[in-house]
Amino acid sequence: GAASDYAQIIQQKALRLKSMVQDVFEISKAASDQLPVKPEVLDFGKLLRQTLADMDGEIQKSGLTFKLDLPEQPVEITADGTRLYRVFQNLLQNALNYSLPGSRVYLSLKTIDKAAVASLRNTSRNELPEGVDFTARFVRGDESRTDGGTGLGLSVAKSFTEACGGTFRVETMADLFTVIVSFPVSMHKPKQ
């Protein structure tokens, strides 16, 4: 009945609040260099493929077409795999939430001047406002949405990327939304 529906809504709101508080806490820790980071050499392409594979159900349901340009050969970077996984989980979720229905989402990984550069580009459902810092806390691309975008996804993604030693940048052009995450390529001495 109505009471159990209500209880369910309360529970959902409580869970959402809990995850928001955790996000804010982690962003704050990252901002003050208190975020525990376990750097390891990892294959950036493999991490991206893993994140996509884990979100495949949602991607299939979304009706969006994902166009991937990921190299076959390993692109090795030094980062915290768990944190970086979360970064791309948030970015893909963001694309799923905000893309124009039926549009294409592009994910590429390229090595440019000793940097591994991943970019995720999608067409926004709504025109993007000018001069907005989308990585600021609680900023949403669409102010009218009340379906639980906390506005923290990009902020967390940026904080975690920077805590891992990468750079995070958002570029918007008309209704195109592009996030660029780059890390220095790890140079290894060849094994003897």
Question: What was the pLDDT predicted at 145?
Answer: 44
What ranges in the chain are assigned the alpha helix state H?
2-31, 44-54, 56-62, 81-98, 153-163
What ranges in 55-152 are assigned the alpha helix state H?
56-62, 81-98
DSSP assignment, residue 33? T
Mean pLDDT per block of 10 residues along the chain (192 residues) reads 85 81 75 81 96 95 96 95 93 92 97 96 85 66 46 83 93 90 82 49
How much is the pTM?
0.81
Q: Which two tokens stand for residue 150?
A: 């906390």
Is the distance from CB of 70 to CB of 48 less than 8 angstroms? yes
Backbone angles phi, psi at 47, to 5 degrees: -60, -40
Question: What was the pLDDT predicted at 148?
Answer: 43
Question: What was the pLDDT predicted at 188?
Answer: 66
CATH number of 37-184: 3.30.565.10
Strands 65-69 vs 104-112: parallel, antiparallel or unpaired: parallel
Nearest Cα neighbor of 121 from 62, 169, 54 is 169
Q: How many Cβ atoms from other residues are within 10 Å of residue 19's Cβ?
A: 13
Q: Where are the domains of the chain?
A: 37-184
Question: What was the pLDDT predicted at 136?
Answer: 72
